[in-house]
Chain A
Amino acid sequence: MRSFLTGDDKSPRRVVQRQRHRPETWWAFSLPLLLFLLIPLLALIGYSSPEQLVENLALPEVRQAIMLSLRTSTLATLASVLLGTPMAYLLARREFPGRLLLDNLIDLPIVLPPAVAGLSLLLVFGRRGLVGVWLDSFGLRVTFTETAVVIAQTFIAVSLFIRAASIGFAGVEPELEDAAAIDGASHWQTFSRITVPLARRAVLTGIALAWARALGEFGATIIFAGNYPGRTQTMPLAIYLGFELNLDVAVTLSVILVLLSFIVLLVVKGFFGIGDQEE
């Protein structure tokens, strides 16, 4: 993950120019991986005919799952940006005791099995959980609700945003921020007019990664939010359960999920990324 994020400061073209000798060797050795990644996805897309895909798209449970997934993953991304930006900036700019520990903590949700995340959330926000007990006294319940889905997705996705944004913030020269401050800009103005625009590529990459990860979240969601069509049954849950009963529907949802994720990542990296080469 990290090498992918830090590696995008070199355009593919420049890499090719530097490696004048035998690019075809590298292609040959990359081919097994390319096939390994590509063939399963093509098999998935080729499984059902386009007519069948469209037909399945009209099913109410499929549409419910798609709409719920789009809604919750967007909210989770929003929450990740709001909650994650200060942390990303802190990690990019400040040296403080325990910085390494904090940095490591931020990486945990990326490497933890999502089921562990789901269980932890249940122990905090569940009816008998640390926070849940208190919420329950106000008659509020989080488990089995759409809110729980958003919480689970945010927990898993926010790290990806922080990682990417932090690298972007670190790449902005502190002198530029200082200059803006000398010219009378407030902290907020400096951050929003200088730092974020200069780091926009990394920030956008972070947003795209967080969104795609939230869209694909399964393990934490099914444990913490449960599975109820229209309320907590997101696309990955519908795919998993559909696999038992209706493979066709599961494949349709999978194809949509793959295409959506691919297009979003492509748009963000291609469209926003290549336009920024001069940085």
Chain B
Amino acid sequence: MFKSWIEKQKTLTFAVLALLLLVASCTQNGGTAPTAPEQSPVEERTTLTVYAAASLTDAFGKLAETYKVNNSNVDVVFSFAGSNQLAAQINQGAPVDVFASANLSQMENVVAEGRIDADAPRVFVTNRLVLAYPEANPAGITTLADLALPGTLIVLAAEEVPVGRYSLEFLDKATADPTFGSSFKEDVLANVVSYEENVRAVLNKVSLGEADAGIVYLSDLVGVEGVSYLEIPDSLNSVAEYPIAALNDSKNAEAAAAFINLVIGAEGQAILGEYGFGPAPAP
């Protein structure tokens, strides 16, 4: 008797849980996209869908506020994720108006699939590598060459992610430079204690003080406390270029063009600059 009561309770619990799961999965509306405000009956409203690299999250959020001032009839919906993921979704047919990628190769992927015209993408910002270290500076880092000092705990992004590849390129370029010495890369790699899965993980290890130094994008440091950084000079830096383009099948071409004009215009560039991004190279 008692046992069967327990069984019934269990069945009920599972049924409730299953129901909750179902409800949860139904109400999810695809990641970080904010829900559109109530439709206004008087004017026609447009929804502009922008797919943008995760590193642009804060900057584009701010840009959208400026955009709304002159385009009050447009609701901007963002999806922020890794550029490779976004490109894959676009190539699977996701309904998107604007794509902003953190590297040229993912933009080229979409161009190759034909959803963006070859001459459409424009580089709108650059992002630079910097050497980040905890403010307390336990390893006493004062120059880039100090990375090679034995016992310095260094974290880099794994080779599998773009910033990890850029970090290795920096080490290669520095090693070719006589001021660093021919064993620089070897010495630095001997100090690496972890190859992290993404650039945020590198930064977290540095800001927690677990690592003495790490290589990250300058834009990642905006708003992060307790972390100082050294510039990596242009001659050694691998500058990441961010292209933006409207999809050629966009149903909101006008709104998309207005958004891109804001991004590449003086006002947008100033906002992006505040978030640590560098200007696009002169064409």
Residues of A within 8 A of B (CB): 3, 122, 126-128, 143-144, 222-223, 225-229, 232, 240-242, 244-245
Contact = CB atoms under 8 A, between A and B. Distances in A.
Contacts of A241: 158, 160, 195, 197
A244 B88 CA distance: 13
Contacts of A222: 196-197, 201
Interface in B144-179: 153, 155, 158-161
B228 interface: no
Interface string B191-206: 0111111000100010
B209 A244 contact: no
Given A226-B193, A244-B160, A128 B209 contact: yes
B200 to A, nearest CB: 12
B159 A227 contact: no
B197 to A, nearest CB: 6
16 contacts: A3-B10, A122-B208, A126-B209, A127-B209, A143-B193, A144-B153, A222-B197, A226-B155, A227-B158, A227-B195, A227-B196, A232-B194, A240-B197, A241-B158, A241-B160, A244-B160
B212 to A, nearest CB: 10
A191 to B, nearest CB: 31
A84 to B, nearest CB: 27
A107 B201 CA distance: 28
**Interface residues of B toward A: which range?**
10 to 19
A241 B208 CA distance: 23
A126 B210 contact: yes
Contacts of B155: 226
A227 B155 CA distance: 9
B82 to A, nearest CB: 10
Contact of B194 (A144, A242, A244, A245): A144
Nearest to A229: B195
A144 B210 contact: yes
B192 A127 contact: no
A214 to B, nearest CB: 20
Contacts of A242: 160
Given A144-B153, A222-B197, A227-B196, A126 B161 contact: no
B234 to A, nearest CB: 28
Given A127-B210, A143-B210, A244-B161, 4 more contacts: A127-B209, A128-B209, A226-B195, A241-B197
B158 to A, nearest CB: 5
Nearest to A128: B209
Nearest to A243: B160
B195 A228 contact: yes
Contacts of A228: 192-195
Interface in B108-156: 138, 153, 155
Nearest to A125: B210
B232 to A, nearest CB: 23
A95 to B, nearest CB: 21
A241 B158 CA distance: 8
Contacts of A128: 208-210
Nearest to B136: A128
A242 B193 CA distance: 18
Contacts of A229: 195
B193 A144 contact: yes
Contacts of B201: 222-223
A226 B161 CA distance: 15
Contacts of B192: 228
